[in-house]
Each structure stands twice: as structure tokens, then as C-alpha cells.
Amino acid sequence: MTYDSEDIQQILQMAFAQKQEGEFSREQLVEMASELNISPHMLEKAEQQWLTQRSEQQQRRTFNNFRRKGFSAHLISFLAVNLFLILLNVFTTPSYFWAIFPLLGWGLGLFFHGLSVYRKEGKAYEKGFQKWRSQHLKSKDF
């Protein structure tokens, strides 16, 4: 039986997952790489790529949390204001339910805000993430 490089990678990942000896030291990583005939330069390059990906994943999680908090604030204000408007409507003009108009209009905006917050792919998401990241990195410089 023969294996291609993707098969080998998947098999080794499964074996490491099953072994679960806990954490590995940097020396153990270098030793494993040398046993697999991976040069120190290639290992260093792969490690840097992994660190970059890990950092971006953490940034994306933080960005997603930021967006969800913004949506939660929007939802809470929507509920509070519209509850007030409904009560005001019921006590002032119970024969005409005018509170439906701000409820529906704002509800539509809230719906689209929710769609944008919970969609984690596409051009709009990437554009928002890049903008947030550049602002976030600028604020950390000071």
C-alpha cells in the first residue's frame, strides 16, 4: 500500500491525538521533525506559519465576540424602547396600534444586523475584520 503526503499527515495527526501524552517540548518537536527528515529551516518556517494562523484565529474570535456584544446592545435597546412604545401606545391610544411601525422598521434593521454578525465568511466579513484589526492594532501601539 502507498500513501500520499496528505494521507501521511492525517495518519500522524490521528496517532498523535490518540497518544495524548500531554505537551511536547521544543526539543521533542525538533527531534520528531529530524526523524521525519524535516530540516530545521522547514520546521522553523512551518512553526512561524502555525503561530501566524493561531494569532489570526484568536483575533477572529475576539472580533466575533466584539460583534456579538454590539448586537446584544442593539437587541437590548430594541427590546427596551419598543416595550416602552407598546406600553405608551396601549395606555394612550389603545384603539390604534401605531407602535407596530417602529417595531417592524427597527426589527428589520435588527434582523439584518443579526445576519451580518453571525455570518463569518464573505467579503463584508473580511472587510469588517480587516478594518477592526487595523484599528485594534493602532490602539495597541499607543
Instruction: In whole angstroms, give the CA distance from residue 45 to residue 51.
Output: 10
Report if residue 46 sits inside a domain.
Answer: yes
- The confidence score (pLDDT) of residue 121 equals 86
User: pLDDT digits over 79-114, tens only?
Assistant: 999 999 999 999 999 999 999 999 999 999 999 999
In a domain, 93, yes or no: yes
| Block residue for cell numbers 473580511 | 126
- DSSP for 81-93? HHHHHHHHHHHH-
pLDDT at 141: 58
Is residue 118 a part of any domain in this protein? yes
Domain count, the chain: 1
The confidence score (pLDDT) of residue 136 equals 82
Question: What distance in Å separates the CA atoms of residue 50 and residue 96, rounded to the nearest whole number?
Answer: 61
Q: 24 lies in a domain?
A: no
* DSSP letter string, 63-125: HHHHHHHHHHHHHHHHHHHHHHHHHHHHHH-TTS-TTHHHHHHHHHHHHHHHHHHH---SHHH
Which pLDDT value is given to residue 20?
Answer: 60
Q: Is residue 112 part of a domain?
A: yes
Question: pLDDT value at position 30?
Answer: 81
Range of 50's domain? 30-141
Is 136 within the bounds of a domain? Answer: yes
Would you say residue 39 lies in a domain? yes
* Cell digits of residue 7: 494521507
Low-confidence ranges of the chain (pLDDT < 50): 142
What SS3 state is found at 103?
A: helix
Would residue 20 count as lying in a domain?
Answer: no
Q: Give the number of other Cβ atoms within 10 Å of residue 99's Cβ.
A: 18
State the Cα–Cα distance between residues 62 and 51, nearest whole angstrom: 17
**pLDDT for the residue 140:** 67
Q: Tell me, what's the pLDDT at 27?
A: 81
- Residues 6+ positions from 105 with CB-CB distance below 8 Å: none
